[in-house]
Chain A
Amino acid sequence: MKHILSGAVFLIVGGFGIAAVSAQEAETPETETAAQEAEATAATTEAAAASATANEPASEEATDAADDTADAAPAAADEAAPAQTAAAAPVSASGSVAIMNGTVHTISGAAIENGDVIIRDGRIAAVGANLEAPLGAEVIDATGKIVTPGLFAPISSIGLQELGLDREANDAGPRTGFPLGAALDAQDAFDPSTTLIAINRTGGITRGLSAPEAGDTLFGGRAAVIDFSGEASSITKPRAAQTAEMGYAGARRAGDTRMGAWAVLREYLDETAAYAANPTGYLTRAREDRFAIADLKALAPVVRGTQPLLVSVNSAPDIRNLIRLKNAYRLNVIIVGGSEAWTVADELAAANIPVILDPLFNLPAQFEDIAATQAAAGRLHEAGVDIAFYNPQGFGAHNLRALPQLAGNAVAYGLDYDAALEALTLTPAEMFGLSSQLGSIEIGKIADIVIWDGDPLELTTRPEAVFINGEAQSLENRQTKLRDRYRDLTRGDLPHAYRGGQ
């Protein structure tokens, strides 16, 4: 992303070379590290854990084991992981909710005209036409409205930053010179009280991947799926994915050549495999200190193919390399960016690699983007590639609420409308092993629901109601309060500081 505003040039962080880990750090006893991690994990997810059945990992190894179980058998994973959410979800105090007579886009099936959705205990209890509202249910007349699953933002630094340029308010990624990468864990910094959550929720975003950004190493770290309730318990699935920068972004971190990026990436994977096969042996043998043990540990589930690796990559040759790498190492890979992905769409479909793209991106911003076009989303979908959208414009996490606009543009340039809705909901849920719980309006799924006052992809449409875990969410946020404070500029009996916001 270049010169979004002229000031953005100052955002660029250096970041060359490979992180060298000090001997001291590399030799940190494994047990201590594990203990520290467990402590951190427990602390961040205290609320979720406290709400009973959530089986938070007690250690790094336990997490990896859980990842393995989860992802090796996708169906089971879907049952296991979201169970945390279900446990964390507060039971609707007012009982059930009946959304009646809307156009319901279930995503899993055809849209239902004059459709009804019944929410009970945080889950979807029924969906169809001509349902009866349960006795005592809160009834919402959705006549003329559109009902969809809540939108799922597949990658951003949501919860990891409040402001871009303010270091204290930005935990999205390490500064230059910091040795660790893959080991960083979004749940350690995730802040559900960031104003971005309520602001984006007002735009219909109910879930998202909170992903760290890479510093000096290729890897950003471990990303978590979170909900947009703003509750302390809003981590849906910790360590849901790992992120990596390749293409020129990776090359910058590896000798300024793409050869370096691929060599380093393969070396990380090989070292991780060696470490995972025999941790004690690995620690005792003579080796270079180029790889932090913490990073290798974090990459273990990636190498096992049980944790998705989100790889930022753009050019067709880099994408073909990635396909080869996926097949050679049996990785679970998802492309982020992929400005030339559509030119190798058939190969991606065959390799079952999804693409998270910015459907507006259509400029040769770098030589690796020469084939960028707004027609990409439609062409990828046509070829059978799963797609989802991310928004680098307007600084990513701050404007996830623009995702429907992005999808609308993709439709204008050839993407099937229903496919666009699926890209905003079910596809991201599938990417992170949550599709049996989220992403569509089906009986038994978690009730993340949005009622829109028009076509959700249209520019002047806004959500009228947002449900997360079956709970109606506030559509107020810091911006609506500022607006209300300054709606009337006339001088009152007291200054503006006394208006609103109480």
Chain B
Amino acid sequence: MQKNERLNGFGARRAGFTTLAALLALAACGPRQDADQSGEDAGATQTAAAQDAGAAEQSRADDGPVRPPLDPYPSTYEPYPSETIVLTGATILTGTGARIDNGAVVLADGKIAAVGAAADVEVPDGAATVDANGKWITPGVIDIHSHLGNYPSPSTDSTSDGNEATSPNTAEVWTEHSVWPQDAGFTRAIAGGVTTLQILPGSANLFGGRAAILKNVPSRTVQGMKFPGAPYGMKMACGENPKRVYENSGPATRMANFSHYRAAWIDAAEYKKSWEDYWADYAEWEENGEEDEDAPKAPSRDLKKETLAGVLSGDIRVNMHCYRADEMAFVLDMAREFGYKVATFHHAIEAYKIADYLAEEGVCAAVWSDWWGFKLEAYDTVLENAALVHAQPNGCAIIHSDSDIGIQRLNQETAKAMGDGRRIGIDITPKDAIAWITANPAKAMGIDDQTGTLEPGKMADVVVWDRNPFSVYAKAERVYIDGALLFDRNDPSLSPRVDFEIGQEGNDFTGGAGQ
């Protein structure tokens, strides 16, 4: 039921899924509904029923109350075929804080079947054994902040689709509608071990719109990349960007940034309540309404407020681009004021100044290892930022890229940040630091029950490195996504190449993953 629970509108009415309208909402225009992911045994039947009902008036009284579709562009991703294999003899960083020397990982049916010391792991019958002696194995790398697809290569006006910089509040846009799956950047990222990534819109806007969480699997459609069951995220931004872009219409100051946020939350809360009232009235009408009494009329849909209401009900996670400590503190108060939660501060250059507070609040800080100085709010970074966030009890540090080059080596950025933390006496080793690009972003994005660590039952998103991934010389050698081998550095036939790079001059010596 994960998906249903996560994507359930404003959360108030989960029972609504028994109605036809809800079924319609669930299946909408999806050509396939993965029974596994929808969690419904009768998924196929429901899909058929929903499609039959597709043309029907949503507001027909006997269909139950109107409910805005929760997942109108559902994931059509299905894992590619995989074999049962045992990767054995490697040094394994599980992402849970454990390191296993001479370990083994068993991948079966696209899932992690077992992880442990090579001597202890039971090898299933018929499993192929892959000698991983001298290799290192980690969970697939996750980038919580990417613009692959919405600022793709080649970078032209025609492809610049990441920033709807026309209004300070564009909560209504969904960045999945901007993502170009033929961005060569995806192929470069898989060569860097990236198996999951979150594409964000913005940051010219206070509310930039919805994020898209993708599996890094080439596809003809974005739906074919969407991470099944992943909750939506929303991008927000503090500080300089939004106040610089709309100088004429406002906001032009940080105080106006906040007045605009707050006004939008007030509107969103009213909107959310109008729907909740409507559903309550509808239930009352169904229960006690007179024979000739018209059904209550549903409120008008508003895409902008719908997304914000989804945040208020806890279904959509807030990714808050925010550099300065003082602004982050105000944002946390604002979240309390309106009853929502900030999942992650992105670009949190000054997280170390309030690392204790962030940890208490259970908010993650996604940071670069060493970028700084491109503007005043990015002036105060320290190399130990991630380590200082990590060092707090319950601290949640994430290394993010925000870059089509950086995403290819999040392991290296993590290594630098780890090393600098160790230098000031913070006890961090690779087994801890690997979580900054695996388990922690998975947690922040709400997909940690499915990926982010090497634990039995999770998706077999696995990277085999040719050596310690915290070395500058390390390369991802093999990348498995849901157990399928989708990148093998030693096998050119397992190096994906996007359409854009096909048939270009010099194509015989360049292009594709691994370049």
- Residues of A bordering B, CB below 8 Å: 2-11, 162-166, 196, 343, 360-367, 369-375, 393-395, 398-399, 401-402, 405, 408-409, 411-412, 457-462, 479-480, 482-483, 486-487, 489, 496
Extra A-B contacts (16), CB below 8 Å, given A3-B162, A164-B375: A6-B203, A7-B204, A9-B163, A163-B375, A164-B373, A364-B154, A364-B184, A365-B153, A367-B154, A370-B510, A402-B370, A408-B473, A409-B412, A458-B472, A479-B383, A489-B356
Closest to B467 in A: A412
Complex Cα spacing A462 to B457, Å: 40
* Smallest CB separation, B410 vs chain A (Å): 12
CB of B458 closer than 8 Å to a CB of A: no
Task: Please tell me if the beta carbons of B382 and A479 are within 8 angstroms of each other in the complex.
Answer: yes
Closest to A401 in B: B370
* Range class of the B interface residue count: 35 or more
Contact with A along B399-441 (1 / 0, CB 8 A): 0001111101100100110111011100000000000000000
User: SS class of chain A's interface: helix, strand, loop or mixed?
Assistant: loop
Question: Of A365, A394, A462, which contacts B155 at CB under 8 A?
Answer: A365
Task: Please tell me if the beta carbons of A372 and B510 are within 8 angstroms of each other in the complex.
Answer: yes
Question: Of A405, A487, A496, which contacts B412 at CB under 8 A?
Answer: A405
Complex Cα spacing A166 to B500, Å: 37
Task: Please tell me if the beta carbons of B375 and A460 are within 8 angstroms of each other in the complex.
Answer: no
Most buried by A among B368, B374, B404, B405: B374
Closest to B353 in A: A486
Closest to A398 in B: B373
* Smallest CB separation, A307 vs chain B (Å): 30
**Given known contacts A361-B405, A365-B154, A375-B515, is B373 in contact with A395 (CB within 8 Å)?**
yes
CB of B179 closer than 8 Å to a CB of A: no
* B388: chain A residues within 8 A (beta carbon): 483, 486-487
Q: Which of B33-41, B80-88, B501-509 contacts A (4 or more CB under 8 A)?
A: B501-509
Complex Cα spacing A401 to B371, Å: 11
User: SS class of chain B's interface: helix, strand, loop or mixed?
Assistant: loop
* B245: chain A residues within 8 A (beta carbon): 10
* Smallest CB separation, A486 vs chain B (Å): 5
In the A-B complex, list the 6 residue pairs whose CB atoms are closest, starting with the nearest: A460-B419, A408-B472, A164-B374, A165-B375, A2-B155, A398-B373
CB of B188 closer than 8 Å to a CB of A: yes
Q: List 25 A-B contacts (CB under 8 A).
A: A3-B155, A6-B203, A6-B204, A6-B241, A7-B375, A163-B379, A165-B240, A361-B405, A362-B408, A364-B153, A364-B504, A366-B155, A372-B515, A373-B515, A393-B403, A394-B371, A399-B371, A399-B372, A402-B370, A412-B472, A460-B415, A460-B416, A462-B420, A462-B423, A487-B388
Question: Of B163, B185, B415, B510, which contacts A459 at CB under 8 A?
Answer: B415
Task: Please tell me if the beta carbons of B188 and A363 are within 8 angstroms of each other in the complex.
Answer: yes
* A3: chain B residues within 8 A (beta carbon): 147, 151, 155, 162, 403-404
Task: Please tell me if the beta carbons of B424 and A10 are within 8 angstroms of each other in the complex.
Answer: no
**Given known contacts A462-B419, A479-B381, is B515 in contact with A374 (CB within 8 Å)?**
yes
- Residues of B bordering A, CB below 8 Å: 147, 151, 153-156, 160, 162-163, 184-185, 188, 200, 202-204, 240-241, 244-245, 321, 347, 352-356, 368, 370-376, 379-384, 388, 402-406, 408-409, 412, 415-416, 418-420, 422-424, 470-475, 500-501, 504-506, 509-511, 515
* Smallest CB separation, B387 vs chain A (Å): 10
Complex Cα spacing A283 to B324, Å: 55
Task: Please tell me if the beta carbons of A409 and B409 are within 8 angstroms of each other in the complex.
Answer: yes
Complex Cα spacing A371 to B509, Å: 8
* Smallest CB separation, A373 vs chain B (Å): 4
Complex Cα spacing A366 to B379, Å: 30
* A6: chain B residues within 8 A (beta carbon): 147, 151, 162-163, 200, 202-204, 241, 321, 402
Task: Please tell me if the beta carbons of B515 and A405 are within 8 angstroms of each other in the complex.
Answer: no
Task: Please tell me if the beta carbons of A398 and B510 are within 8 angstroms of each other in the complex.
Answer: no
Complex Cα spacing A464 to B33, Å: 58
* Smallest CB separation, B435 vs chain A (Å): 17
Task: Please tell me if the beta carbons of A5 and B402 are within 8 angstroms of each other in the complex.
Answer: yes
Task: Please tell me if the beta carbons of B241 and A7 are within 8 angstroms of each other in the complex.
Answer: yes
**Given known contacts A9-B163, A486-B388, is B416 in contact with A363 (CB within 8 Å)?**
no
Complex Cα spacing A393 to B407, Å: 12
Task: Please tell me if the beta carbons of A487 and B424 are within 8 angstroms of each other in the complex.
Answer: yes
* Smallest CB separation, B463 vs chain A (Å): 16
* B504: chain A residues within 8 A (beta carbon): 364, 370
* A196: chain B residues within 8 A (beta carbon): 373
* A366: chain B residues within 8 A (beta carbon): 154-156
Complex Cα spacing A108 to B511, Å: 36
Task: Please tell me if the beta carbons of B473 and A363 are within 8 angstroms of each other in the complex.
Answer: no
* A393: chain B residues within 8 A (beta carbon): 371, 403, 405-406
Task: Please tell me if the beta carbons of B352 and A409 are within 8 angstroms of each other in the complex.
Answer: no
Task: Please tell me if the beta carbons of A166 and B375 are within 8 angstroms of each other in the complex.
Answer: yes
* Smallest CB separation, A272 vs chain B (Å): 34
Task: Please tell me if the beta carbons of B375 and A459 are within 8 angstroms of each other in the complex.
Answer: no
Complex Cα spacing A459 to B383, Å: 12
Complex Cα spacing A457 to B474, Å: 12
* A483: chain B residues within 8 A (beta carbon): 352, 382-384, 388, 424
Complex Cα spacing A409 to B409, Å: 10
* B409: chain A residues within 8 A (beta carbon): 360, 409
* Smallest CB separation, A465 vs chain B (Å): 15
Most buried by B among A4, A361, A409: A4
Complex Cα spacing A500 to B327, Å: 23
* B200: chain A residues within 8 A (beta carbon): 6
Complex Cα spacing A402 to B501, Å: 30
Task: Please tell me if the beta carbons of A10 and B370 are within 8 angstroms of each other in the complex.
Answer: no
Complex Cα spacing A361 to B160, Å: 20
Complex Cα spacing A94 to B184, Å: 56
Closest to A496 in B: B353
Complex Cα spacing A363 to B155, Å: 10
Task: Please tell me if the beta carbons of A394 and B368 are within 8 angstroms of each other in the complex.
Answer: yes
Most buried by B among A365, A399, A402, A457: A365
* A461: chain B residues within 8 A (beta carbon): 419
Complex Cα spacing A393 to B369, Å: 12
**Given known contacts A10-B244, A489-B355, is B376 in contact with A459 (CB within 8 Å)?**
no
Closest to A458 in B: B472
Complex Cα spacing A363 to B192, Å: 14
Task: Please tell me if the beta carbons of A398 and B372 are within 8 angstroms of each other in the complex.
Answer: yes
Complex Cα spacing A402 to B475, Å: 18
Complex Cα spacing A2 to B402, Å: 11
* B418: chain A residues within 8 A (beta carbon): 460
**Given known contacts A395-B374, A479-B383, is B154 in contact with A459 (CB within 8 Å)?**
no
* B500: chain A residues within 8 A (beta carbon): 364
* Smallest CB separation, B168 vs chain A (Å): 15
* B474: chain A residues within 8 A (beta carbon): 412
Task: Please tell me if the beta carbons of A459 and B470 are within 8 angstroms of each other in the complex.
Answer: yes
* A405: chain B residues within 8 A (beta carbon): 412, 416, 472
Task: Please tell me if the beta carbons of B374 and A5 are within 8 angstroms of each other in the complex.
Answer: yes
* Smallest CB separation, B251 vs chain A (Å): 15
